[in-house]
Amino acid sequence: MQISMIINGQEKAFNVEPDEYLSDTLRSAGYKSIKRGCDKSSCGACTVLLEGKPILSCSYLSFRANGKKVTTLEGEREEAIKLGSLIIKEGGDQCGFCTPSLILTTIALKRENANPTEEDIKHYTNGNLCRCTGYVAQLNGIKKYLGVE
Ligand code: FES
Ligand code: FES
């Protein structure tokens, strides 16, 4: 079936299968920041923003995104560099597999909540699992990025 999405501000057309998931459609189109960790809605690595809100693209059928705005990390280069650098400065330079999803989720939080607390950050990002498990440096970088003391 034919669908179109506005991806990172650009309208793109796709021919998708009825049972095709958004992670597959987007990765095939070159948006490789989207990772496939579990493919079972558990790890958060496939997170994209749909109309500005984080969703798990491995369990979201592509046709449901028809006509909607999708944001991947490729569309948030400036913010990604800012937050990524802060995480690295805090010592969080691990394998990086979970980082695109964590950064996108944090960007969504920033736009939704101008004054988050540390608890808000933990709650909002708790679906983004890190296999390297170094959450402290990541959290410290996020706190700096969001201006949380
Ligand atoms: S790959 Fe989608 S939640 Fe793990
Ligand atoms: S940094 Fe390796 S999975 Fe998170």
Q: What's the pLDDT score for residue 5?
A: 98
Helix, coil or strand: residue 41: coil
Calpha distance 40→74 (Å, rounded) = 23
β partners of residue 5? 12
Which residues have CB under 8 Å from 73's CB, separation 6+? 33, 34, 80, 100, 103, 104
Which ligand lies nearest the alpha carbon of 22? 1
Predicted TM-score (pTM) above 0.85:
yes
Q: What's the pLDDT score for residue 70?
A: 98
pLDDT 10s digits, 7-60? 999 999 999 999 999 999 999 999 999 999 999 999 999 999 999 999 999 999
Indicate whether 130 pLDDT > 90. yes
Which ligand lies nearest the alpha carbon of 37? 1
| Position 133 confidence tier, pLDDT thresholds 50, 70, 90 | confident
DSSP class of residue 125? Answer: T
Q: What's the pLDDT score for residue 149?
A: 86
Pocket residues: Cβ below 6 A from ligand 1: 36-39, 41-46, 56, 58
Calpha distance 96→131 (Å, rounded) = 10
- Mutation test of ligand 1: which of 21, 42, 98, 131 has the most ligand atoms closer than 8 Å to its C-beta? 42
